[in-house]
Amino acid sequence: MTPFKLLILMAMTMIGSAASLFLKRTSTAEGLLGYIKSPFIYLGGFFYLVAALINIYILRVLDYSVVLPLTSMTYIWTMLLSHFVLSEKITLCKILGVAAIAIGAVFISL
């Protein structure tokens, strides 16, 4: 895998994680009408669309058996975003879990 392809794959996982963050922000709205009025739902949807388009591209140039395990890197970005943006606590258990996922993804993709 070239550094460019790895960079694109990592960008895809970061964008997907950001999309989830925007949908989390949407969840604070009241009721269906509140969801529809929230700009975060549209930002989340847009970022999911961008991540999906990048995913389609990366699947053209890399094996599925490599791409899918490496998309689990999203968990790393999600943990960091949840800590820095949502002020969620990162426990040792969470760190160990994400590390195990990352190590497993690397081994599967080799």
Domain boundaries, the chain: 3-109
Return the pLDDT at 107. 85
Give average pLDDT by consecutive 10-residue segment, the chain, 110 residues: 90 96 93 93 97 96 90 91 94 93 83
Return the pLDDT at 1. 79
pTM of the model: 0.87
Return the pLDDT at 105. 83
The rounded distance, in Å, linking the Cα atoms of 35 and 42 is 10
Return the pLDDT at 20. 95
**Rounded to 5 degrees, what angle do the CA atoms 27, 52, 95 make?**
60
